[in-house]
Amino acid sequence: MKFTAAHWGSYQFKDGDPDLTPLAGDPAPSRVGRGWVSAARNRDARVLNPVARKGWLAGDKGAARCDDSFVEISWDRALDLAAAELDRVRQSFGNAAIFGGSYGWSSAGRFHHAQSQMRRMLALSGGYTSSRETYSHAAAEVLFPHILGTSNRAFQDDMTSMPLVTEHCELMLAFGGISARTGQITSAGTSVHEVGPWINALKDAGVRVVTIAPERGEALGDWVAIRPGTDTAFILALIHEIVRLGREDQNFLARCTSGWSQFKRYVLGDSDGIPKTPDWAAKICDLPASRIAKLAETLTEKRVMVSMAWGMQRADHGEQTIWAGMALACVLGQIGQPGTGYAFGYGSTTPVGRGVRLIPWPSFPKVPNAIKDFIPVARITDALLHPSEPYAYNGQTRHYPDLRLVWWTGGNPFHHHQDLFRLQKAWCRPETVIVNEHNWTATARRADLVLPATMSLERDDIMMNRRDPTLLFMSKMFDPVGQARDDFAIFTEISDRLGFRDAFTEGRDTEGWLRHLWAQSENVAKDHGIALPSFDDFRAVGRFDVQDSVDTRVAFQDFVAAPDSNPLSSESGKLTLFNETIAAMDLHNCPGHPTWLPPVEGGVLKPGEFHLISGQPDTRLHGQNDMGAESLASKIQGREVCTLHPDAADALNVHDGDLIKLSSPRGACLCAVRVSELMRADCISLPTGAWFDPQDVNGEMIDVHGNPNALTRDKGCSDLSQGNIAHSCVVRAEKWTGPMPPLRVTRPPVIKT
């Protein structure tokens, strides 16, 4: 038996098998994995040969980048061109003019990690401009060190374990819900999927789950169908009612928080003249005031976990919602206790709340980057459109770099960025775009030089996730499609042309690096009382399970037990309800305490408008495997499927299977219709990840495949974090009665040589 792994699960197979079987012991294998092999073998979607854009070879500097054909070239010429262009830009403009773009989701393997491979090569070439944070939770990454005194990564690691929630919690207040759909995935791979079984365990244990979300999804128990983007007002009203009842935990607030008096004055309306009562919030949230008041009273009578999904902060003023959620947990005073308190990310990805030992397995080593400049990850379009212009970020005034070369590996910004038509305009600004890619994604189709890369099923690697108890040797299932090469091989050849091959490889080939990483792992394992097999034995068996890996955790337990002896790294050493550092930044869009700030889009809608919900899909990871059998079978008439409430469908005169056009001031897209009562009537839900396919249809540019980021606004959620606001989007909808535009999501025109 052989094994392999991806961000959506682990699998086993025998030589000659045409498909994969989920790893034995996985209680709920992911749906995403069903489309993996077919996506890998879809030659129409794979990049088979190195190609260069025709106009770029002729000397243009990007004007036709988003609408051009390609010329097939040899690997030697492609590598020569890539190395020469990198050298030209660094010599002419300096290394800060090079942007190293990658998002890290290309491979679950420890060695063939595209982001690490690219960054190592670029660092050795003299450095590059990088990005910070993630699209998943940028607002939290910047905010949490201020208010929790810990990084988001550390908070995720220390999250109260799910089994303790099942055992001790009586009421879970789940903002954004908890979903096995998003729980299919985890960065660096997973051997088991626990979120679905955990949801069932909560139900069996009698834990009351109150889901606050505009779409019911997999919600257990009570569903509070809140108006999108208004959760902060809802939370403030809960706090106001708890204070009115005199049931705030004054001892916890005094011992473990700072800034309660300032925040309390705001909640009660003493500072701005607006008491944040249930009646006040009811109009904003489109909910009965009595329901808000009753829930507040119930919270004071139960053992409560306040859970925030990652998506809560991907909205305008997203910091306020997760900060307000923390404040509510502080007012209830149950942080630091088993199964209760405050959580961020349950169900947003597989391992959040997983009760296992954390083991820091080694990874492909980094090289220090001589260029210290960076951009927030969601500000790439602004950086390309506005070089040298100032922007605010976390108390600093920074300036966008002047980027001349973009090198993208292991990612697809034309999936995860917002306002893709604006990004397409910006994408024509740099002089050169180079992409390592295995598929003809929208990003590859908009590159000047495309270097075909292998997929995980076409190479050996090792899955070692510090938050997973299983180590797997990832065996190659089949030979590379076309002329695809590993990123390591590609960057080795480029390093050779630039004169630092030995520094990049350290004298090792792929086999040598895998053995080196395993030798390092053996030393790490010894520190944790674990004896790993030899590399050869591990490869022969293919799997190693860490015994006695269970290690339940309670977030902030030591701090709450003795705040003076175990202070946090925040400005006060405590959980900050009013943060003086943030207040001193004097940001109009992120004050010094949780505040209700109306979103740039939303509120009460005009006739014909809908709130757009763009969550993660069920059949693919972001855009990965969109050309696999599972994702293709889920589409209708080849288009991504949106969900409408029956009342909305009646108003639009559409039924299951019809097509509609969604539009916003940014653009338009086509999608098919599914009707469901499990959402608000003023919302439309359209999953992300359909490969962007903009076409001129009767004089209007429309994404004909159904990517919601053709509609979303490209704006930072505040001047604190500059995270994205994908969930603050209003669209108009109309039935599509025109002809069906053909899809153009596979291989573009390629001129054979």
Catalytic residue positions, numbered: 103, 105
Distances (CA, A) of 236 to 321, 331, 470, 602: 10, 11, 43, 19
CA distance 423 to 429: 10
- Contact by Cβ (8 Å): 19, 628: no
CA distance 246 to 227: 28
218: Cα separation from own chain's centroid: 20
- Nearest Cα neighbor of 749 from 63, 58, 55 is 55
- Nearest Cα neighbor of 582 from 707, 674, 720 is 720
3-state secondary structure of 471: strand
Strand ranges (E), 498-579: 543-545, 575-576
CB-based contacts of 622, cutoff 8 Å, min separation 6: 105, 412, 415, 416, 616, 688, 689
- Contact by Cβ (8 Å): 403, 95: no
Per DSSP, the residues of 718-753 read: -TTT----TT--EEEEEE--S--PPP--S---EE--
Backbone phi, psi, residue 192, to 5° = -140, 160
CA distance 468 to 249: 37
What are the contacts of 549-552 at 24+ separation with CB within 8 A? Answer: 549/356, 549/357, 549/469, 550/355, 550/356, 550/357, 551/355, 551/356, 551/357, 551/358, 552/161, 552/163, 552/164, 552/355
CA distance 75 to 450: 11
CA distance 335 to 328: 10
Give kind and range of the element (H or E) at residue 51: strand 51-53
CB atoms near residue 584 (< 10 Å):
10
CB-based contacts of 574, cutoff 8 Å, min separation 6: 149, 256, 257, 258, 563, 567, 568
- Nearest Cα neighbor of 54 from 752, 683, 733 is 752
Give kind and range of the element (H or E) at residue 237: helix 231-244
- Nearest Cα neighbor of 120 from 453, 456, 364, 455 is 364
Instruction: Return the structure tokens found at 280.
Output: 């006040």
CB-based contacts of 562, cutoff 8 Å, min separation 6: none
Q: How many helices (H) and strands (E) does the chain have?
A: 25, 32
